[in-house]
Amino acid sequence: MANPSVPVSPLVPPASPEAEGGFYALSPDDPAYLVFIDSLDYLSPEEVARVKAAVRFSDKAHEHQTRLSGEAYITHPLSVAGAVVEWRMDADAICAALLHDVLEDTGVTKAELKKHFGAGVADLVDGLSKLDKIEFASHQEAQAENFRKMLLAMARDLRVVLIKLADRHHNLQTMSAVRPDKRRRIARETLEIYAPIANRLGLNKMFRELQDTSFRLIHPVRAHVLGKAMLAARGHRKELLTRITDNIRAKIEEVGIQAQVFGREKSLYSIYTKMEEKRLSFSQILDIYGFRVVVHDIPTCYLALGALHALYKPVPGKFKDYIAIPKANGYQSLHTTLIGPYGTPVEVQIRTEEMDHVAQEGVASHWLYKDAEHSGADLQIRTHKWLQSLLEMQSGDSSEFFENVKIDLFPDEVYVFTPKGKILALPQGATPVDMAYAIHTDVGNCCIAARINHELAPLRTELKNGDVVEIVTAAHANPNPAWLSYVKTGRARSKIRHFLRTVQNEESAALGERLLVQELHSLGVPAPEIPAAAWERLVKASGNRSIKEVFTDIGLGKRLAAVAARRLLAEDAIPICTTPGSLTIRGTEGMAIQLAKCCQPIPGDPIIGSIKKGQGLVVHTHDCPVIRKSRSHEPQKWIDVEWESSPGTLFEVRLDVEVKNSRGVLAQVASAISDSGSNIENVAMEGDPEKLFTLLHFIIQVGGRTHLAQVMRNLRQISQVIRINRLRLESES
């Protein structure tokens, strides 16, 4: 209840019987409420009055609501606001935490919130209400679309996600009354999304608590057994831990360093995941405890490291310098693993007090610690850059976006250098293609090769810490669809798909136009004779924005050229005279025209085409066994296609060559193919049990049917060749 002697901000709701009366489901003497109000000592009296008004407003709005546990609903927003106060966030954030469910669960409108508490609070609550609509058990598309909304809210105001994390944290702690299936679903969703977001924002304490609580909800028996084992180990190893702690303190003091030394247990979930990943029992996990040494400045961190390496031998390859190269979430520390007494591995982190603040609270340290304000501001800038990079991935559909973001939420970093010495942090397993897109979209799109540590390396090579990587580009190069099989970053995956989709749409539009013009020609009407009004009617009737979109739909098989042509002519009384016609192709048009993998048509083969929805024109040979049934049952789906006179490129063909098993026969066959002007793309061998014959499976490149006939003639001249067969698959791959 507001103190009458305190001047009231204009944003506090005006005095009313309800406001004067104060509380409904909540008692003004409630200990939780009193502790909460006492914790607001860092706010001004005017701000405290606003927060008290928000408590009353929330209490009134949720007056008749209870939680599944039977408690008054107001206990939940009060607990969420309490967590926000622990981060010492501003009055707007605290008010939003108190009111975060009123738009979702009560009849209160955003306009009312704006009137009573200002636009800032109303926008925060609105953002949080959108987040609460996420339903991860729903269809993937709805899940992904709602996740997109969540990131948009995060990008607008970082306080939104901090309040959401506090909300999720309290919900997890009060799950006992929730159905077991719903409890597990919410816990899995937390492990998948919210815990990684907390980690990405540097909220280490929150991250561990979300993980451990979710683990207990998903696997209660495993968590109980592991917890008991931890308690037992704590007793057995107490003497050892005390000895290590005392030795570290003594060594630090011996070299004249003032420091705080802490020992801590690793989190339950991190031990469980280590047991799972490495297939170890609990007794085999020795490093369940870690030690933290907190000193005053950065140079002292390195002095302390030297002292500890003199005390216990370091494990080679287990030292990481996150001070010189901070993690993407702003985390800084020196990590080293030492061999302690009795061969026990001892993990030690060395950092300054400011780094320790950021390590525990991440972006929240900006509000929480005034001495961490500078680093907190830097971290906020870095976080906003990360959020902006996520928003750049929105070119694809929602499910793609969701997949890409989830990749970026698990960034086990590897640090690489550009030739000029700039450091880039990439996920474990990243390739030069990922690095190229991290530098700039145009660099990624034009990437053709890479030099790793001054040596040429394949683009699929996994990068390692400390690699110096130079990206080689070419002006007319384009992304390769095969890159999608090995890139690791969401950004690279998103940009490659966006480019391929754009190119496919361009090619599909050109194909669609050709198909429609051909259809009009077969009806005896040249396309130029159709009036503009007819084209406009077609666009309007199709629901597209332009005629190019209509062409794209035709090229992708989403719309039939025959239907579009008749719709164009229907209202203009243009006489139709049907004449047969066929579409001429080169086979090199791009993604809009695909040569079927089952029969691999080449120039000279009689061919026929089918418009497949979402793929464009798929071309088969006339005698392809895969399409036989479809051609007879659905003749309307097929169009006549013919080859251009000189396509001027090479096409892949499968060739089986059976030979007598004799020395040097493979070399003779390969030489004959090469002498015929054909490239060998792939070769595999299959022997018979008696080892008398060998079947050679070739994929070769030829210019057309005539060229293939020449290759086969040259092969037949080899005496060891028994049979040659052009292979066609029984099903389309």
Residue closest to 450 by CA, chosen among 441, 72, 437? 437
pLDDT at 387: 67
Tens-place pLDDT, residues 269-280: 888 888 887 787
Question: ∠ CA 51-11-80 to the nearest 5 degrees?
Answer: 25
pLDDT at 141: 57
Distance of CA 663 to the CA centre of its chain: 53
Q: Which residues are catalytic?
A: 104-105
Tens-place pLDDT, residues 220-269: 999 898 888 887 776 667 777 888 888 999 999 998 999 999 887 778 88
Q: Is the pLDDT of residue 547 over 90?
A: no
In our burial notation (b when 16+ CB lie closer than 10 A, e otherwise), range 497-512 reads: bbbbeeebbbbbbbbb
CA distances from 67 to 53, 75, 77, 178, 295 (A): 22, 9, 11, 10, 45
Confidence of residue 472 (pLDDT cuts 50, 70, 90): very high
Tens-place pLDDT, residues 378-425: 666 666 666 666 666 665 555 566 666 665 665 567 788 888 888 787
Please, what are the domains in the chain? 17-220 (1.10.3210.10), 223-368 (3.30.460.10), 412-479 (3.10.20.30), 498-643 (no CATH), 651-726 (3.30.70.260)
Q: Is the pLDDT of residue 373 over 50?
A: no
Q: Is the pLDDT of residue 377 over 60?
A: no
Comparison of pLDDT for 480 and 135, the residue scoring more: 480
291 touches 343 (CB < 8 A): no
Residue closest to 331 by CA, chosen among 296, 266, 376? 376
pLDDT at 372: 45
pLDDT at 658: 92
pLDDT at 393: 61
What is the average pLDDT score of the chain?
Answer: 80
Percent of the chain past pLDDT 90, that is, above it, reads: 20
Tens-place pLDDT, residues 165-177: 999 999 898 888 7
Tens-place pLDDT, residues 645-679: 766 678 889 999 999 988 888 999 999 998 898 88
The span from the CA of 462 to the CA of 446, in Å, is 20
For 39-134, where are the alpha helices, taking DSSP H only?
A: 45-61, 75-86, 91-98, 102-105, 110-117, 119-131
Q: Across residues 45-68, what is the average pLDDT?
A: 89
Pairing of the two strands 583-585 and 638-643: parallel
Max Cα distance, the chain (Å): 110
Q: Is the pLDDT of residue 14 over 60?
A: no
Least confident of 125-134, 286-295, 459-468, 606-615: 125-134
Least confident of 224-228, 324-328, 347-351, 563-567: 563-567
Tens-place pLDDT, residues 671-727: 999 889 888 888 888 877 777 888 999 999 888 888 999 999 999 999 999 999 988
Q: Is the pLDDT of residue 19 over 70?
A: no
CB neighbour list of residue 394: distance below 8 Å, 6 or more residues apart: 148, 401
The span from the CA of 314 to the CA of 347, in Å, is 10
Confidence of residue 103 (pLDDT cuts 50, 70, 90): confident
695 touches 654 (CB < 8 A): no
The span from the CA of 238 to the CA of 232, in Å, is 10
